[in-house]
Amino acid sequence: MKRYVILLFLLCFAAAVRAATPKPTPMYIVNGKEMKEIRSIPPEDIENVEMLPADEETIARYGQRAAHGVMLITLRYDQPAAFPADSTFGHYIASRVRWDASEPAARVVLRYKITPEGDTVVHQELESTDNRLKRRVLKAVADAPRWQPARKNGRPIETEGVLSIQLPEGKSIPRPVELVFR
């Protein structure tokens, strides 16, 4: 019995060590510049992805940092769109919407485009749990200042984004009741 406990302990310890050991990641090159991580890049902004193997040629070109391969990512733009406020677009819009803490929690998720002129155009409603909040968010988006549009080869281009507003902040949306018949 004691042998089995020790064996079980060793198996659990080995599993914990494997889980704690970081997995090797490739070197990320985005629009010609090395980046540490790519989680913050919206998938819709990616135009092309190419994976280079960790071979002699890749390591000779990029150095030892390429020992786990290189992921070359080309974005649809050279310079991303910039919102002129001191906060993110989502925080700016949420601060402009009047929604008391006494009102029920609600969420609106919209897909929008930034035109080459810097205007914000909502083109798809992805989720809306309350029409009152949706109307207020749409008004705040319409009244928002113009963006500095994204640029590709020095020229302004159209880009997309997703806006998710949940108010009041910190209050969770109740799950809908589901009936299960057996």
pTM, full prediction: 0.69
| Mean pLDDT value across residues 54-60 | 93
Q: What's the DSSP call for residue 158? A: -
CATH number of 89-167: 3.30.2420
Q: Where are the domains of the chain?
A: 24-75, 89-167
DSSP code per residue over 12-24: HHHHHHHHHSPPP
- pLDDT, residue 10, reads 53
Specify whether the CB–CB gap between 108 and 133 falls below 8 A: yes
Which residue has tokens 């001191």?
A: 86
Taking only the tens place, the pLDDT of each residue in 144-156 is: 999 999 999 999 9
Which residue has tokens 């198996």?
A: 11
Instruction: Out of 12-21, 128-137, 168-177, pick the least confident.
Output: 12-21
